[in-house]
Amino acid sequence: MTDRRSGVVHLGVGAFARAHLAWYTQHATGDPWGITAFTGRSPDMADALTAQGCRYTLVTRAADGDTAQVIDAVVAAHPGSDVDAFARALASPHTTIVTLTVTEQGYRSGSDVPARLVAGLDARRRAGAGRIALVSLDNLTHNGEVLRRAVLDATTDDDLRAWIEATVVFPSSMVDRITPATTADDVAGLGELPGALPQDRVPVVTEPFAEWVLQDVFDGIDRPAWETAGVRLVDDVTPYEQRKLWLLNGSHSLLAYLGLLLGHETVAQAMADDVCRSAVEQLWDEAAVELPLPATEIAEARAALVDRFANPRIRHTLAQIASSGSQKLPVRVVDVLRHRLGRDPAAGVGPGAATLIAAWWLHQTEQPGLVNDPGAPGAGSDVHDVLGVIAPDLDTTPVVAAVTAAADRIRAARARSSEGVPA
């Protein structure tokens, strides 16, 4: 039995939620809160967690070794298909927070996620259970507003819509913690790791770094004291979303495309390459000018990223990061470029942005077998095709010239690398 209050309902339980949300909830001081978890489509994780009392091992993988702790913040796990259990959980007056990790697809038209939430909120209204917060933990800009629109668009009852608008809040949040897939070797090695849960079949591996920036619009809605575990409560998460997108995610994309072209497999390997590292620093320099945050905070974020990327024991593969560039690059690099040109039309394209766009272009034309992106222009694309997908308004002579020159530099670096000459 647990003495945790089942006050948080989470939809989409997976490795990230168990390394992030559950970790913060477990480490918050005050009355202990518990999470009632629901899977997405597959019941497998719910079955596995239930079989071991919903407890599992969180392995923190630092450069100098692993540490383990047992997480018990999840108090119940249900398959996503159990709609009755989900409705009961949302209708409970003890539930005041619903969190989600359902990926970007979960907010799009045709997804069943908004409909499931609407049904649960309708049950809550009929039960008279009171105000509640729905918190997206997905990597979307303004994710609270995205979630609010998705829920309201799925609501066909005018009375329920009015109740939702008056009773439900949708805070935006920015979350960050690299959580690679757990391998069979990770599971097998638990027996030698002090602090691990014996016979754990579903441990989670994560990096030491964790961050959560949360919009403080709860207005008296009860919640865990997450700020005591390090959560930053702010009025507006936008600058922190931009910092993550432009520094972490932008450099991840750059390392993925440029690193694969230069023969690397992981983030750590690419970051150790002087060509990749120099391009990343240029990209960060350009983003730093446009970020509305103190210079010291930006410098600290960059230093933390260098340490995180260099951790050789977090196997973050470039091929995984490289997927869906057509969707990712507009917010990771084009947005920065538009800010730059809007501030100073004569600024031109910085070398970091030009290298990232050029590397994505060459990734498609010279490594088509590695491309996993339905929206990409394809193996026969030219620079105009590439810009037409991610930034049609920037298909100008100066931008084309900058990207083309960057592509030539990448080809030269590849040639030197293939000849065994330091790039």
Q: Are residues 38 and 106 in the same domain?
A: yes
Within a domain: residue 394?
yes
Q: Are residues 29 and 140 in the same domain?
A: yes
Q: Which of 214, 235, 256 is the last residue of a domain?
A: 235
Cβ atoms within 10 Å, residue 414: 18
Would residue 211 count as lying in a domain?
yes
Among 179, 213, 235, the domain boundary falls at: 235
> Both 204 and 252 in a single domain?
no
Q: Does residue 331 share a domain with residue 301?
A: yes
Cα–Cα distance for residue pair 414/261, rounded to 1 Å:
7
What confidence score (pLDDT) does residue 418 get?
78
**Confidence at residue 109, expressed as pLDDT on a 0 to 100 scale:** 84
To the nearest 10°, report the CA torsion of 183, 184, 187, 191: -130
Residue 200: name the closest of 77, 65, 383, 56 by CA.
56
**What token pair was written down for 21?**
């949300």
What are the average pLDDT values for consecutive 10-residue runs of the chain, which has 423 residues?
A: 86 96 97 96 92 98 96 97 96 98 91 96 97 96 97 97 98 96 94 96 97 96 98 98 97 98 96 97 98 97 97 92 95 97 94 98 97 95 97 96 98 87 56
Burial (CB count within 10 angstroms: exposed 0-12, middle 13-18, buried 19+), residue 392 = exposed
Is 177 within a domain? Answer: yes
Q: What is the pLDDT of residue 338?
A: 96
Residues 363 and 395 in one domain: yes
pLDDT at residue number 40: 85
Domain CATH for 302: 1.10.1040.10
For the chain, how many structural domains are there in total?
2
Q: Domain of 31: which CATH number?
A: 3.40.50.720
Place of tokens 């050789």: 312
How does pLDDT run across 261-285, given as a tens digit for each residue? Answer: 999 999 999 999 999 999 999 999 9
Statement to judge: residues 102 and 215 lie in one domain: yes
- For residue 310, give every residue at least 6 positions away whose Cβ sits within 8 Å of its Cβ, in sequence order, or none: 63, 268, 271, 272
- Enumerate helices (H) and strands (E) in the chain, giving the number of each: 19, 12
In a domain, 423, yes or no: no
Contact criterion met (CB below 8 Å) for 362 and 325: no
Residues 115 and 79 in one domain: yes
pLDDT of 2 reads: 66
Task: Let me know whether 272 and 157 are in one domain.
Answer: no
In this structure, the answer to whether residues 198 and 126 fall within a common structural domain is yes
Q: Considering 213, 235, 257, which residue would you say is the last residue of a domain?
A: 235
Residues 23 and 47 in one domain: yes
pLDDT tens digits, one per residue of 157-198: 999 999 999 999 999 999 999 998 899 999 999 999 999 999
The span from the CA of 19 to the CA of 176, in Å, is 10
> By residue range, what is the domain housing residue 212?
5-235
Rg of the chain's alpha carbons, rounded to an integer?
Answer: 23
Q: Are residues 367 and 297 in the same domain?
A: yes
Task: Give the type of residue at 150.
Answer: A
